[in-house]
């Protein structure tokens, strides 16, 4: 998912910076892999801010080529096959910024990534929230499930997640969720009023995405 206006170009789609995700990544990380690195913009920020060695894996070959100009190593192609080429027990962190929802089998992908992490490594992921109030409004009140260029209903999304199903997916893949925090909240007065009237039942719907930090389960 890319949360961008409809006029956004392909270059901007693959070049989204995602600065809000930096705080979930340890400054001590020495080797970082970004799955779905796009043009390498986020990875370049990580390199600049932490000095880490940054690898990228990107499905789109044109974006991967551009990422190769910014990152230390970039693999182009399908994650389901190329993850096997990555070194084992090597990465302090694997970053998945709005990428798991695009995969046919994100659970299997997480399982494949697990041996690539150091024992104390982490997966840092941003995942869109299907219970986001504006998205729920389209489904419940407009009786529609649109296909859009960007956002929750991005037409390239193959999977949809709630906060609970995010946690379950990581646990099923052999990880322990250390932190999960809502990001990019819906701040309009209607949102706060709706949550209050629901007695908190839709509190998770305030957030467009959830940032997850998970470690391999012992």
Parse the chain into domains and list their residue ranges: 10-129+157-184+207-216
Report d(CA 187, CA 32) in Å as an integer. Answer: 33
Q: Where do the H-state alpha helices sit in 51-204?
A: 61-67, 79-82, 106-113, 133-140, 163-172, 189-197
Q: Which residues contact 160 (CB under 8 A, 6 or more apart)?
A: 101, 128, 130
CATH architecture of the domain with residue range 10-129+157-184+207-216: 3-Layer(aba) Sandwich (3.40)
Q: Give, in degrees to the nearest 5, the angle at Cα 120 between 38 and 44.
A: 25
Query: In what order do the strands lie in the sheet containing 73-76?
Result: 73-76, 53-58, 31-35, 91-97, 117-128, 207-216, 175-185
Report d(CA 125, CA 175) in Å as an integer. Answer: 13
Q: Are strands 175-185 and 207-216 parallel, antiparallel or unpaired?
A: antiparallel
Report d(CA 207, CA 213) in Å as an integer. Answer: 17
Burial of residue 197 (CB within 10 Å: 0-12, 13-18, 19+) is exposed
Instruction: Supply the pLDDT for residue 123.
Output: 99
Instruction: Supply the pLDDT for residue 140.
Output: 87
| 8 A C-beta contact, residue 95 and residue 125 | yes
Report d(CA 201, CA 194) in Å as an integer. Answer: 10
Paired tokens of 8? 């956004």
Residue by residue, pLDDT tens for the chain (218 residues) are 444 433 344 445 555 689 999 999 999 999 999 999 999 999 999 999 999 999 999 999 999 999 999 999 999 999 999 999 999 999 999 999 999 999 999 999 999 999 999 999 999 999 999 999 889 889 988 999 999 998 999 999 999 999 999 999 999 999 999 999 999 987 665 656 665 556 556 678 889 999 999 999 98
């Amino acid at each position: 998912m890319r949360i961008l206006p409809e006029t956004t170009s392909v270059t901007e789609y693959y070049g989204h910076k995602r600065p809000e995700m930096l705080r979930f990544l340890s400054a001590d990380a020495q080797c970082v892999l970004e799955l779905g690195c796009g043009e390498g913009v986020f990875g370049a920020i990580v390199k600049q801010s932490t000095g880490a060695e940054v690898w990228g894996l990107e499905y789109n070959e044109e974006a991967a080529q551009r990422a190769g100009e910014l990152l230390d190593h970039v693999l182009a192609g399908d994650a389901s096959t190329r993850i096997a080429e990555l070194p084992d027990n090597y990465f302090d962190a694997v970053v998945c910024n709005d990428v798991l929802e695009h995969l046919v089998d994100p659970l299997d992908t997480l399982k494949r990534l697990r041996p690539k992490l150091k024992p104390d490594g982490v997966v840092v992921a941003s995942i869109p929230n299907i219970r986001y109030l504006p998205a729920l409004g389209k489904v419940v009140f407009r009786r529609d499930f649109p296909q859009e260029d960007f956002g929750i209903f991005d037409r390239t999304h193959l999977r949809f997640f709630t906060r609970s199903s995010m946690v379950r997916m990581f646990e099923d893949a052999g990880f322990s969720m250390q932190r999960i925090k809502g990001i990019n909240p819906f701040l309009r007065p209607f949102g706060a009023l709706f949550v209050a009237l629901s007695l908190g039942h839709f509190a998770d719907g305030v957030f467009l995405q959830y940032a997850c930090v998970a470690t391999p389960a012992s």
